[in-house]
């Protein structure tokens, strides 16, 4: 397959060449090479997906490790706001409270968790009982993680996203470890907020719009990600992936 150079693949990140992917289990090699976390699902309404890591090396995307099962939104996925404009293909658009995970290409943001530290090279923010992600569209802090000790209790009033779910939601472990998926970076009210990759509470249990995985998969993913590689998170249904992969400079689709 001929190589090509897609325009503005990484938008604010970097431009790369794309080619067919091959398998490579060298997860620790090439820390500065671009990294990709790719989630594909069967269709817009699927609640389960497949996550595969990729490293861009030697002019091509190399698959790293084995694919892992993930869960996404309870109502599937919808086009989100990220680094690439959503195609005008009639697909659903992400809205606050729709129970859908945002589809598209997004930057990987800060890691977070219940502990003071984590085994990751990403920037890491320990969460406390006073941390909330604001999912109230009318709030000036919409789609931001804030500390009530700094912004005041009134500022977090109405938020349904305490970041210490173990303390506020009957021991819920899902936010014990995770990272921000930078959907809606302009914090457009009502376009969807608080989108994370986080731990699953039970295998196969869908989410409110995040991507959930096993503890082991999260540990491996966070240990692999490197901020200097400007990692990307891409989530797409299979038909949409086949439609945009070449223009977006992504790995060649694998057989269904």
Cβ burial, residue 209 (10 Å; 0-12/13-18/19+): buried
- Angle ∠(117,128,187) on CA atoms, nearest 5: 95
The phi, psi pair for 243, rounded to 5°, reads -80, -30
Can you tell me which residue has the tokens 């892992």?
68
Q: What is the pLDDT of residue 254?
A: 80
The tokens 């919409």 sit on which residue? 142
At residue 21, the pLDDT reads 33
How confident is the model at residue 10, as a pLDDT?
Answer: 33
Q: Which residue positions in the chain have pLDDT lower than 50?
A: 1-31
pTM for the model stands at 0.88
Token couple for 24: 């490579």
Residue 137 near residue 122, CB atoms below 8 Å: no
Cα torsion 242, 245, 251, 256 to 10°: value is -10
**Taking Cα atoms as reference points, which of 65, 52, 93 lies closest to residue 213?**
52
């Amino acid at each position: 397959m001929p190589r090509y150079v897609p325009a503005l693949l990484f938008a604010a990140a970097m431009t790369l060449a794309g080619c067919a992917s091959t398998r490579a289990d060298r997860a620790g090699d090439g820390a500065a090479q671009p990294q990709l976390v790719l989630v594909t699902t069967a269709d817009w309404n699927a609640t389960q997906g497949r996550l595969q890591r990729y490293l861009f090396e030697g002019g091509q995307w190399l698959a790293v490790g084995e694919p892992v099962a993930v869960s996404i939104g309870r109502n599937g996925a919808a086009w989100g706001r990220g680094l690439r404009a959503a195609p005008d293909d009639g697909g659903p658009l992400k809205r606050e409270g729709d129970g859908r995970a945002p589809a598209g290409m997004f930057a990987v943001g800060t890691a977070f968790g219940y502990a003071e530290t984590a085994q990751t090279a990403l920037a890491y923010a320990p969460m406390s009982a006073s941390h909330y992600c604001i999912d109230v569209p009318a709030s000036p802090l919409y789609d931001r993680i804030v500390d009530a000790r700094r912004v005041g209790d009134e500022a977090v009033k109405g938020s349904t996203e305490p970041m210490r779910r173990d303390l506020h939601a009957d021991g819920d472990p899902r936010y014990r470890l995770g990272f921000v998926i930078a959907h809606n970076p302009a914090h457009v009210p009502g376009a969807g907020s608080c989108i994370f990759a986080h731990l699953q509470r039970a295998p196969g249990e869908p989410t409110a719009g995040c991507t959930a995985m096993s503890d082991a998969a999260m540990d491996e993913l966070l240990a692999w990600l490197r901020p200097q590689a400007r990692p990307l998170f891409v989530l797409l249904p299979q038909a949409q992936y086949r439609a945009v992969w070449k223009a977006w400079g992504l790995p060649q689709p694998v057989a269904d």
